[in-house]
Chain A
Amino acid sequence: NAGVTQTPKFQVLKTGQSMTLQCAQDMNHNSMYWYRQDPGMGLRLIYYSASEGTTDKGEVPNGYNVSRLNKREFSLRLESAAPSQTSVYFCASSYGQGEGGYTFGSGTRLTVV
């Protein structure tokens, strides 16, 4: 099915461990995004990529890195996980330039202990 695929769906990390969240879309979208969602905070933008080869910081980029591997894939890396990064992470994509809405993945629930 067309859409945004995120892996893994669940992950538990120990403080200091690293991991990469994977995201892929098959809708030929130009722009891709990583959000985190915390209770009572709504969704906050971590990083985004307006096109292949470009990435920009969002509201809460500290502690994260991203890679726009190609037009389809946009990964989010936690180099040294902290308990404050316990959250639900969503990847999204769009055509960009205000054209149409975003399509979201089903999320990754990350717990850092």
Chain B
Amino acid sequence: SQQGEEDPQALSIQEGENATMNCSYKTSINNLQWYRQNSGRGLVHLILIRSNEREKHSGRLRVTLDTSKKSSSLLITASRAADTASYFCATDSRDDKIIFGKGTRLHILP
């Protein structure tokens, strides 16, 4: 069963704009992670936020976590063509395995 669920399923924005993707999950977590997958490639780890953290930054990425609402958001600022990819959230529960959502397909328009 899916734990995390991303929203929206697909998103198209103009280059230079900010992109926001959301993730909701069902049960308590140790941490939440975001991954990027370019077409035909494996997943690349972007950022991990622990359950006791509320916000984390990495370059143009900003992740927030609201454990009371069981939700997270990924913000990509000043988007570039190279950001076109699918983005997945993944939640890490107590049994040392992570469960992925179905992903958000992001398309950056020139």
Contacts and interface: CB of A to CB of B under 8 A. Distances in A.
Given A33-B97, A98-B31, A101-B33, A42 B103 contact: yes
Given A31-B96, A58-B97, A97-B96, A102 B41 contact: no
Interface stretch (B11-19, B43-51, B63-71, B76-84): B43-51
A50 B102 contact: no
Contacts, number: 58
A41 interface: yes
Contact of B97 (A45, A105, A107): A45
Contact of A102 (B30, B40, B98, B103): B98
B110 interface: no
A102 B43 contact: yes
Interface residues of A, number: 28
A37 B107 CA distance: 20
Contacts of B30: 98
Contacts of A103: 45
A50 B49 CA distance: 21
A109 B31 CA distance: 30
A43 interface: yes
Interface in A72-108: 90, 92, 96-98, 100-107
A90 B98 CA distance: 14
Nearest to A105: B42
Interface of A: 4, 31, 33, 35, 40-45, 48, 50, 56, 58-59, 90, 92, 96-98, 100-107
Given A58-B97, A97-B96, 10 more contacts: A42-B100, A42-B102, A48-B97, A50-B96, A56-B97, A59-B99, A98-B50, A101-B33, A101-B35, A101-B46
